[in-house]
């Protein structure tokens, strides 16, 4: 009986999770903009890739895809580089302002991004970074970093200091001990950092809408919004775009999960 309830519960949530995804796929395959059809068929009887074709031929979708990729990759690389080193410093060194710094990183997480929109816009305007990728990469990285630094620091804390000390004695400089010994062991945390940074940049809309103003520079979420005008919405295009947007995320996730294994430091020291 308990099991039955559990299954019902799980089924409801599975449906709730899967239905929107399947629905979007279904809409993307419908010719025209038949959003509100009552048919439950996943693949509509007159299915066509018309929306997908139009997406690439009649719209600068490829351009937006490229823009988004550029921004997300830049944010991911900067995020990983900064979070892995900053987290290491917070974990291993005792310096003035360490606790304050950690607290400040946490504090930034308390404010919603929308609240920071205006000051960010003013700052970027003064720096002439409006409508520039550097501007948006800086903002996205800054948004993703606090969480990433914290979780990198947390992970480094679990790696015994004696491993670096052994490496120092074995002939490594501090930096070499870090990237030869510690960084490989921190792979699971690096993966989280990379995923988090990538996702922050890939699907963000509000900040992008403020900073990027020319259609040529739009990222995918901004591009999608283009299909929605005052009078009509191109649901077919919208859905097809959504499906394509989600593919790289899924691919990246599947690719990175192989490093998401725990217990990498197992056996290094007596537990």
Which among 53-61, 120-128, 222-230, 257-265 is the span making contact with another protein, rule CB under 8 A?
A: 257-265
81 vs 62: CA distance, rounded Å:
28
Nearest distance from residue 174's CB to another protein, in Å? 9
Our finding on whether 185 is near another protein (CB under 8 A) is yes
Do the beta carbons of residue 158 and residue 265 sit within 8 Å?
A: yes
Our finding on whether 248 is near another protein (CB under 8 A) is no
**Does an H or E element contain 117, and which?**
helix 113-126
* Residues 77-106 close enough to bind another protein by CB under 8 A: 94
Our finding on whether 262 is near another protein (CB under 8 A) is no
- Is 172 exposed, middle or buried, given 0-12, 13-18 or 19+ CB atoms closer than 10 A? middle
Nearer to another protein, 253 or 259 (CB): 259
Our finding on whether 170 is near another protein (CB under 8 A) is yes
> Could you give the maximum distance between any two Cα atoms of the chain, in Å?
71
Which among 23-31, 39-47, 98-106, 155-163 is the span making contact with another protein, rule CB under 8 A?
A: 155-163
Do the beta carbons of residue 113 and residue 172 sit within 8 Å?
A: no
The 8-class DSSP code of residue 41 comes to -
Q: Which residues bind another protein (CB under 8 A)?
A: 94, 160, 162-163, 165-173, 176, 181, 184-185, 263-270
């Amino acid at each position: 009986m308990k099991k039955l309830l559990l299954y019902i519960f799980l089924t409801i949530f599975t449906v709730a999770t899967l239905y929107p995804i399947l629905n979007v796929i279904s809409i993307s395959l419908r010719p025209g903009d038949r959003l509100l059809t009552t048919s439950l068929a996943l693949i509509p009887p007159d299915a066509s890739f018309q929306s997908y074709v139009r997406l690439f031929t009649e719209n600068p979708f490829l351009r937006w895809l490229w823009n988004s990729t550029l921004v997300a990759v830049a944010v991911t690389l900067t995020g990983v580089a900064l979070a892995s080193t900053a987290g290491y410093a917070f974990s291993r060194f005792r310096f003035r302002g360490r606790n304050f710094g950690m607290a400040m990183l946490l504090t930034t997480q308390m404010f919603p991004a929308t609240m920071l929109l205006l000051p960010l816009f003013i700052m970027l305007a003064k720096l002439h970074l409006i409508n520039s990728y550097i501007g948006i990469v800086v903002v996205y990285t800054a948004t993703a970093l606090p969480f990433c630094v914290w979780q990198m620091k947390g992970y480094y804390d679990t790696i015994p200091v004696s491993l670096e000390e052994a490496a120092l004695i074995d002939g490594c400089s501090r930096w070499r001990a870090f990237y030869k010994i510690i960084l490989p062991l921190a792979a699971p945390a690096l993966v989280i950092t990379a995923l988090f940074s990538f996702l922050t940049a890939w699907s963000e809309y509000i900040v992008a809408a403020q900073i990027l103003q020319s259609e040529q520079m739009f990222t995918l979420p901004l591009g999608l919004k283009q299909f929605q005008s005052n009078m009509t919405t191109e649901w077919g295009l919208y859905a097809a775009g959504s499906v394509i947007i989600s593919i790289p995320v899924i691919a990246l996730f599947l690719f990175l999960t192989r490093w998401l294994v725990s217990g990498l430091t197992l056996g290094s020291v007596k537990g």
